[in-house]
Amino acid sequence: MPDTQTSVDQKPAAAVPPAGANPANAAKGPPKRVLIVVGLIAAAALAAGGRMWYRSHYFVETENAYVTGHVHPVSSRIPGVVTKVLFDDNQIVKAGDVLAELDPADQGVKVEQIQAQIASVQQQIVQADAAIQQAKAQASAAQAQVVQAQANLVRAKQDAERYGQLYNSQMKAVSKAEVDAATAARASATADVTARRDNASAAQAQIAAATSARDVLKAQVKVLQAQLKDAQQQLGYNRIVSPVSGRIGKRSVEVGARVQPGQQLAAIVQDDVWIVANFKETQLPGIVPGQQVNIEVDALPKHELVGRVDSFAPASGNQFALLPADNATGNFTKIVQRVPVKITFAPEDLRKYAGRLVPGMSTVVEIDLRQKTAAAK
């Protein structure tokens, strides 16, 4: 008979812990090292968040800021061929220094031509003066002839009256022929006076005509003198001078080149530079003129410069764009605008970094808004 089967139900065996494991440690949770790392991360996050809140509350900054300055173009005012170039790239020049010279031959010939025209007209004026004197002499002679004719007329009238009294119905002391001759002489003297007066008037008109001709010549001389002055100025423009003091840049002229009026030959940059920082319109409420600005220039990474808020632009940068945005549309989307703010460097920084701060450099500017509260107090 087979062995008696056991009726006892077999239970599954308990899991055997791996070798070296401590069941007590498994029940306690994550190790201390993990907790320390998590705590440090949390503390760093809180510190970073606190710093960000602090700086966003008390400071404004932007890296949309660039050094700007006065850049003066140097150009020719007249056409001509360049004969001399007296400057080089990056050279320091002073206001009034001669930078280049053009060939003066064309302008010199024009000056001589106008001078010859003036001399010719002045000779014509001398002739006109002589003509006026001659006309005055003729007018004087004509006036004397008028006086003489008037005297002859007076005598002819007296003779006619006497002959008329001597020849009448009661008395015929003279002949009829003598009376007629006296009457004719009176008429002739009257006509002669009229003719002499007309001659005197013509002489006076000749004087006026000669005087007018002389005045026209004098006016022509003034016109020619103005043309001569312009020609002399044009001749002086052959010497191209520096309009301001500064440093030469963007040279684009060589000897032998033919230049045209307004053609840029070089540019002069002054050392008096400043910063234009484009702040968001939401950053402007805490910014006031006079606040100190901390400046970092990318070209001077280890030097922190100081500036001052000078002024605000009268409009946002979008308004000065070539094609300003038209917001009167149905698909309007509000975009934070930027307003240019002018920031000036401290004078000592300008002197210290003269020649190294040039227009176009990128900068980062930061303003402590607590200065407003200090200024209000």
Q: Residue 353: give its domain's CATH number.
A: 2.40.30.170
Check: CB of residue 279 under 8 Å from CB of residue 65: no
| Pair 143, 73 in one domain | no
Residue 13: what pLDDT? Answer: 46
Q: Based on the fold, state whether residues 90 and 111 are members of the same structural domain.
A: no
Question: Is 143 inside a domain boundary?
Answer: yes
Residue with tokens 């320091």: 92
Query: At 202, is the secondary structure helix, strand, or coil?
Result: helix
DSSP label at residue 93 = E
Domain residues for the domain of 316 are 60-103+246-325+334-376
pLDDT per position as a tens digit, 77-102: 999 999 999 999 999 999 999 999 99
Q: What pairing do the DSSP bridges indicate for beta strands 98-102 and 80-85?
A: antiparallel
pLDDT per residue as tens digits for the range 134-149 = 888 888 888 888 888 8
Domain finish residue from 216, 236, 256: 236
Are 98 and 111 members of one domain?
Answer: no
Q: What amino acid occupies position 216?
A: V
Are the C-beta atoms of 305 and 345 separated by less than 8 Å? Answer: yes
Average pLDDT for the chain: 84
Quick: pLDDT tens for 291-308. 999 999 999 988 889 999
Specify whether the CB–CB gap between 86 and 253 falls below 8 A: no
pLDDT of residue 170: 62
Cα–Cα distance, 228 to 123 (Å, whole number)? 18
- With a CB cutoff of 8 Å and minimum separation 6, the contacts of 73 are 264, 266, 267
Q: Give the Å distances, CA to CA, from 277 to 48, 137, 344, 353.
A: 26, 84, 11, 20
Please count the structural domains in the chain.
2
